[in-house]
C-alpha cells in the first residue's frame, strides 16, 4: 500500500465511485415504484446523500409508515457519519466554507478510501476522488433509475419489493462480522416482527432496532470482548 502512487489512489477511488454510484439506479427505481416522485428521489440523493438512510426512509414509507417515522429511522442511521467525520477531521483539516462542502461527502466509502492511505496527501486524494465520483454518478443513476421505475407497471410482478429487503441485507451484511452483531441483528428483527401486528407501521423498525442497540450497550464490555474474537 505504501508503494501506491497518486495515480493508483485516484484510479482506485474512481473504481469504487463507479461501482457504488451505479447502484443509485436501484435506489431511483425502488423510490418511484414505492410511491416517491422522480423529484423526491433525486432530492434525497442530492441533499441527504447517504445511501443507507435513503433506503431506510424509503423502506418505512413503502411499509406504510409515516414520513416522520421514516425520517427518524433515516437520521438515526446517519449518525455513523458523525463518527466517520471525527476520524477524518484531523486528516482533512478543513476550515471555513470548505468545511460545509466537504461535510456533504462524508459517507462510508469516502471514509474507507481515505483512512486506509499511508499519507495525509493520499488520504485527501482518496476522500475527495471517491466522494465526488460517487456524488456525481449516484445522482445521475438515481435520476435514470427513478425515470425507469416510473415506467414499471406493477413493481411486485418483477420482485422489486424483495429487492428492497435485499438492499437492506446487503448494507447489513458487512456489519455481521462478529457473533455479537449477528445476535443483535437477530433480536432486532425478531422484536420488530413481534411488534408489526400491534403497532403503527414504522414503529417496529425504530423500536426493534433501538432495543437491540440498548442490549448491545448494556452487555457493553463483555460484548466488546466477544466482538474482538
- Span 202-221, contacts to other proteins by CB under 8 A: 204-206, 208-213, 216-217, 220
Among 62, 53, 59, CA closest to 81? 53
The answer to the question of residue 63 lying near other proteins (CB under 8 A) is: yes
The answer to the question of residue 59 lying near other proteins (CB under 8 A) is: yes
Q: Binding pattern to other proteins, positions 39-58, x when CB under 8 A?
A: -x--xx--xxxx-xxxxxx-
Q: How far is the CB of 102 from other proteins (least distance, A)?
A: 7
Binding positions for other proteins, 145-174, rule CB under 8 A: 156-173
Q: How far is the CB of 189 from other proteins (least distance, A)?
A: 3
Stretch that binds other proteins, among 8-16, 94-102, 118-126, 132-140 (CB under 8 A): 94-102
Give 147 or 171: the residue with its C-beta nearer to other proteins: 171
Q: How big is the site for other proteins, counted in residues (CB under 8 A)? A: 104
* Region for residue 35 given its phi and psi (left: phi exceeds 0; alpha: psi -120 to 50; beta: otherwise): left
Q: How far is the CB of 139 from other proteins (least distance, A)?
A: 13
Stretch that binds other proteins, among 6-14, 67-75, 113-121, 122-130 (CB under 8 A): 67-75
The answer to the question of residue 18 lying near other proteins (CB under 8 A) is: no
The answer to the question of residue 81 lying near other proteins (CB under 8 A) is: yes
Among 13, 16, 17, 61, binds other proteins (CB under 8 A): 61
Give 7 or 15: the residue with its C-beta nearer to other proteins: 15
Among 54, 64, 66, CA closest to 30? 54
Amino acid at each position: 500500500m505504501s508503494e501506491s502512487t497518486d495515480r493508483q489512489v485516484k484510479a482506485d477511488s474512481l473504481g469504487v465511485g463507479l461501482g457504488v454510484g451505479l447502484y443509485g439506479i436501484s435506489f431511483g427505481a425502488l423510490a418511484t415504484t414505492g410511491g416517491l416522485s422522480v423529484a423526491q428521489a433525486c432530492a434525497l440523493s442530492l441533499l441527504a446523500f447517504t445511501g443507507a438512510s435513503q433506503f431506510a426512509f424509503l423502506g418505512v414509507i413503502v411499509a406504510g409508515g409515516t414520513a416522520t417515522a421514516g425520517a427518524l429511522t433515516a437520521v438515526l442511521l446517519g449518525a455513523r457519519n458523525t463518527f466517520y467525520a471525527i476520524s477524518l477531521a484531523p486528516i482533512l483539516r478543513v476550515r471555513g466554507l470548505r468545511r460545509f462542502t466537504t461535510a456533504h461527502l462524508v459517507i462510508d466509502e469516502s471514509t474507507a478510501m481515505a483512512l486506509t492511505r499511508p499519507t495525509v496527501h493520499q488520504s485527501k486524494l482518496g476522500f475527495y476522488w471517491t466522494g465526488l465520483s460517487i456524488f456525481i454518478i449516484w445522482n445521475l443513476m438515481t435520476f435514470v433509475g427513478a425515470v425507469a421505475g416510473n415506467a414499471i407497471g406493477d413493481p411486485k410482478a418483477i420482485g422489486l419489493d424483495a429487492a428492497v429487503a435485499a438492499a437492506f441485507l446487503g448494507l447489513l451484511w458487512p456489519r455481521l462480522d462478529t457473533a455479537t452483531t449477528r445476535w443483535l441483528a437477530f433480536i432486532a428483527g425478531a422484536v420488530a416482527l413481534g411488534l408489526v401486528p400491534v403497532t403503527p407501521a414504522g414503529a417496529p423498525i425504530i423500536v426493534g432496532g433501538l432495543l437491540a442497540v440498548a442490549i448491545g450497550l448494556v452487555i457493553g464490555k463483555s460484548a466488546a470482548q466477544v466482538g474482538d474474537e
